[in-house]
Amino acid sequence: MKLLFIFLFMVFFHFAIAQNMQSNDIATIKSCRAASNDAIARHDVDGIAKYWLDDFVQIIGRGVYQTGKDSIAASWKTLFKSNPQIGYVRNPNEIVVSDNDTLAWERGTWIGIHSYSKGGNYAAMWIKRNGTWMLKAELYVSLKANKQQ
């Protein structure tokens, strides 16, 4: 009976630690997303790109895609210069961390401000590298046309 109690305690303890680690990872990813939103609001491309891996892939709401952190950062700089009022806000609805704590899935909605679109849905893939969550890919789908653009 004592061994059974020890075994059950160890299983519960392991589960509790795993749940706490996932909660911390989810909170970290939410914090990164909030900081990225803030960087977009300030038109700070370096602040946006600091969460991207070098081989980052981004598909914007119209279906146009780019690969590579430097290339995508250059596009953001061009966008901000050509449209100083533009902005985007991403609102995560769900973040799921893999059972080995190395990958995460984020999905939510996005809002476009002075953009070709008023917003839609998005998904993102996060990878934990050396204890830091970084974006591998983002997919945006425009679902709210902006008739003024």
pLDDT of residue 3: 63
Question: Considering all CA atoms of the chain, what is the largest pairwise distance in Å, rounded to the nearest integer?
Answer: 72
pLDDT of residue 131: 94
Rounded Cα distance, 36 and 101, in Å: 22
pLDDT in tens, 10-65: 545 455 455 556 889 999 999 999 999 999 999 999 999 999 999 999 999 989 99
Rounded Cα distance, 52 and 39, in Å: 13
Q: What is the pTM of this model?
A: 0.82
Residues 6+ away with beta carbon under 8 Å from 43: 80, 84
Q: For residue 100, what are its two tokens? A: 């080995």
The CATH number of 2-145 is 3.10.450.50
pLDDT in tens, 51-106: 999 999 999 998 999 999 999 999 999 999 999 999 999 999 999 999 988 999 99
Contact of 37 with 89, CB cutoff 8 Å: yes
Domain ranges of the chain: 2-145
Contact of 133 with 28, CB cutoff 8 Å: yes
Rounded Cα distance, 28 and 16, in Å: 18
pLDDT of residue 6: 61
